[in-house]
Structure 1
Amino acid sequence: MTTPATAIAPGLTVRGFTPPLRLSDFKLIAFDMDSTLINIECVDEIADAVGRKAEVAAITEAAMRGEITDFKDSLRRRVALLKGVTMADMERVYVERLRLNPGAAELVRACKTVGMKVLLVSGGFTFFAHRVRDTLGIDFVRANILEVASGPNCGELTGRLVEQAWGDICDGAEKRRTLLEVASLLDIAPHECIAMGDGANDLPMMGAAGLSVAYHAKPKVREQAMVSIESGGLDRLLELMR
């Protein structure tokens, strides 16, 4: 049975605890990237460069709502549709479309001020995640690498992902594993972690953390999160802290 939610303020609800909490009681915060830390779903915007945004966005939406349960398969299907996208196209997405969501910098700064470490764990791509890391001063990143062709099609996406030491796709299970791995390496207990996301693939890591936060999230995610931010910026989490 779902725990009843309590409205603390317009667009801000909690379940399972009574605020305020102390931010300094937490030691690690993990963020999803697309539609959480940033304003876009990068894969959808990249697809726009080859006229396939509608097709890719439909798969993304179904995956984020939890209607497609195999995230890895859904991402491989979407990435395959990116074949032929150039690095110049990727750069335009970053420059022209990608923006930090409101309150992102403020929340990260507040967390770092009390000594917390910051993790970005994304089903998106390192091309964007590493830049977001550098902009916000994030400590750790795990994301997927898009394969880029050499030879005649040099500089174009192949429609495949690059295998990394941990695997090729950061799905929900990998997000959870990464959160717990980083926490363990830093001698941080799961209950000292915060996890923030918006889609169904964020639920595993949110379920492993001491505090789960849904940000402008899909219904399934809002219903399971301890905090749901439905209006305003990411820094509304600080309204629950002292």
Structure 2
Amino acid sequence: MVGRQLNWDEYATTWARLHGGFDPRVAAPVVRGWLRFAYHLGYVLGRLRVTPTAVTVAGVLLCFCVPLFAVRPPNGPFLGALFVLLAAVADSVDGALAVATGRSTRLGYVYDSVADRLGEIAWLVAFWLLGAPGALVVAGGALSWLHEYVRARAVSAGMREIGAVTVGERPTRVCVALLGLLVVGLAGLIQLDLAAGTSTMVATVWVLLAGFGLGQLLSAVRRSLLATT
């Protein structure tokens, strides 16, 4: 028999506690709508006895499909964008499922973080295969990884869980990958040679946002940790 699951208000309160006090009930309409969608889908999966780990694994597999399908002409980038969207849904739903069913664990949090990094690597590989320079792709991945690493170390050192919401956060990377693949696909339909240049442009945007976001985070970490010493 399926155990009791949290209703929306209970879920939002628990979610806020796990995310530095950010209450999804007072978020912007788009953010609130997305989180409510993830909650309801997670609720249904919970009734079906699907585990959060299964959703996390499915999300990683969807990410791995991105570079495999993105290079298939003529509509490969559009398929890649679809897989990014599905992976983003899975990434939100696994956490929602864990919270709604009371299965949220520290080990699951680690697994989810590892899955996110593997997924982002797959997305960047897709842009490399579509023509972006390898050095640019590696820089984007390194800056995004460093963003998460700095936050994790700062939390261990005593900073609040979030510290600062930067322009280089995970949702930004999802949007860059999704919209970037759509733009690359459109460019390829206009002229095949445009796809590589557009892919380079998207990778450059990723690097710039990741670099600026890292700077914002480092500034917030400095302020937070100096205030607690």
| TM-score for both structures, normalised by structure 1 | 0.26
Highest CA radius of gyration, 1 or 2? 2
Higher relative contact order (CA 8 A, sep 6+): 1
The answer to which structure has the higher helix fraction is 2
